[in-house]
Chains A and B, each alone.
Chain A
Amino acid sequence: MPDLAGQIRAAARELLAAGEVAAVLGFAPGPLPMTTRPFAARTPAEADRLTWNGFCVMNPANLLPEILAAVEPPRGPKDPPPEGPLPKVAVVATGCWSRNIVVQIQEGRVRRERLVILGIPSRGMIDRRKVLRRVGGREIRRVEEGAHELRVEGPGLHETIPRWEVVRDNCRTCVHPTPVVYDRLLAEPVERTGVDRYAQVAEIEAMTPEDRWAWFRREIAPCLRCYACRNVCPLCYCPTCFVDDSRPQWVGKSLDPADTALFHLLRAYHCAGRCTDCGACESACPMGIRLRLLTKKLEKDVLELFGTEAGLDPGAPLPLAAFRPDDPDEFLTAGPGGGAGPEGPPPREEEPA
């Protein structure tokens, strides 16, 4: 296994020392085993704090616009932008994160020329919960990550866990592990094919509406409405989120199951055609709700109905901001006879182009 942390540190030191970038956005070790926190190194010395391991589950694309704004020279709200190019920021990016950066470019949140993308073909990130379940919830003091195994240590605990078994669900079914845009690639590209990425969704789709409703109610029942899933998501950046709207109040503040259901449906729906299944929402959820099942369903439908996948092409329009005249419409309510009324649709002079 290549020493990716070392490579990231070396690249960051080099870029910062050369003055090519104003900051390098990556990860630093977290306060507990199996945690990392996002970290922006601004000097070559700070670059030594950067790390890389299987617990980098947050999506750094979420912080990019903020950091890009922070490295700009300070100016008043009415001052013109400074002459010359604005400072650049380097960011580490796996496949899904790079696609999120593409979505941010599509949505005008960041400009490609201000980014230096350090591409990292992903081996899959680890689900802390799966590790904790494996060791029966015993205390973990130290985790060492090998090429294909995790050595977990704690009081009276010495276990070796096969890495792939504790990799997150979204990474296990990922088909784009290699970044789609990058300036430097820090490891060999990874190919992954023959994955049934919609198996989890298909399993639910096969149930009856009653069972699906029971599943949905059960799945979201533990939700605390902490909105960690929203805050960690690079797609959720509305100045006022729909959950905070009070007039009209789309979603009540209560823990009524209807309010929680509406929150989860709308949160997922707002990510439709934009979500790259990075799994940050699910990793951030303190209650272990499988939030990805809803976004994955939407991803599947967008691919089925409109034939597009999020974040593969910076020049393409977003699927829900576009249309084709021949979009599927068999879900339309058509009256008897296939038209809108008993006599069928009125004769139309010409088909709209």
Chain B
Amino acid sequence: MEAVMTGTAPGQWEPRIVAFLCNWCSYAGADLAGVSRLAYPPSLRIVRVPCSGRVSAEMILDALKAGADGVLVSGCHPGDCHYLQGNLVARRRLSLLKRLLEFVGVEPGRVRLAWISASEGEQFAALAREVTEGVRALGPARRLAKTLPEVRHA
């Protein structure tokens, strides 16, 4: 996860959002946004996952621990899941996790779930803009980020 989080210029803060996109819909939707040359903020670090149901609470919290300012999980619309029901299970899991995180004081809006299909390039760009602006308004995430001195390069 640390590898995903690198690559921000020092000095000015830009939101860094880890986006878990499902291979079958949302990743293709992001791809379509790209090939359609739609402009959207470069704040998303995309992690391709086989299904939104693959995204575990561990992965989301790991992203926040690594310093992500926001986490977006996106999968197929209900009923369109390649694995028939992965996104519906993800919806249950995410709704609980989001409430638990908000319960311990993580700001609402840091962790998001959205449905994007493979044909929704426009919608993906709009989602990226909306999520980025939402996270920008919240400011840098400090609450679950681990801030020990870097030891990997020592």
Residues on A close to B: CB < 8 A? 201, 204-205, 209-216, 242, 248, 250, 252, 254, 256, 258-259, 261-262, 265-266, 268-270, 272-273, 294, 297-298, 301-302, 305-306, 319-323, 325, 327-329, 331-336, 339-343, 345-346, 348, 351-353
Chain A hits for B58, CB < 8 A = 242, 250, 266
Would you list the 3 A-B pairs with minimal beta carbon distance, nearest first?
Answer: A352-B79, A213-B105, A341-B123
Q: Which of B5-13, B43-51, B86-94 contacts A (4 or more CB under 8 A)?
A: B86-94
- Chain A's closest residue to B29 (CB) is A340
Instruction: Flag if B92 contacts A340 (CB, 8 Å).
Output: no
A-B contact list, 27 entries, CB within 8 Å = A201-B103, A205-B103, A209-B108, A215-B105, A216-B105, A242-B58, A248-B1, A248-B62, A269-B57, A269-B97, A294-B104, A301-B95, A320-B92, A320-B93, A323-B88, A323-B92, A329-B91, A332-B91, A333-B113, A333-B127, A333-B130, A333-B131, A335-B126, A340-B114, A340-B124, A340-B126, A341-B126
B32 interface contact, C-beta 8 A: no
Instruction: Flag if B99 contacts A216 (CB, 8 Å).
Output: no
- Give chain B nearest CB distance to A113 CB in angstroms: 30
Instruction: Flag if A341 contacts B103 (CB, 8 Å).
Output: no
Instruction: Flag if B115 contacts A262 (CB, 8 Å).
Output: no
| New A-B contacts (13) at CB < 8 Å, excluding given A209-B106, A258-B145, A262-B65 | A205-B103, A211-B105, A213-B106, A259-B146, A265-B61, A268-B100, A269-B97, A327-B88, A332-B113, A333-B131, A345-B123, A346-B120, A352-B80
B147 interface contact, C-beta 8 A: yes
- Chain A's closest residue to B147 (CB) is A258
Instruction: Flag if B89 contacts A297 (CB, 8 Å).
Output: no
Residue in B94, B117, B146 whose CB lies within 8 Å of A256: B146
Chain A hits for B103, CB < 8 A = 201, 204-205, 212, 294, 297
A213-B104, A294-B104 are contacts. A266–B127 as well, Cβ < 8 Å?
no
- Give chain B nearest CB distance to A353 CB in angstroms: 7
- Give chain B nearest CB distance to A147 CB in angstroms: 38
Instruction: Flag if A214 contacts B144 (CB, 8 Å).
Output: no
- Give chain A nearest CB distance to B73 CB in angstroms: 10
- Give chain A nearest CB distance to B33 CB in angstroms: 11
A209-B105, A213-B105, A294-B103 are contacts. A323–B89 as well, Cβ < 8 Å?
yes
Instruction: Flag if B92 contacts A325 (CB, 8 Å).
Output: no
Chain A hits for B57, CB < 8 A = 265-266, 269-270
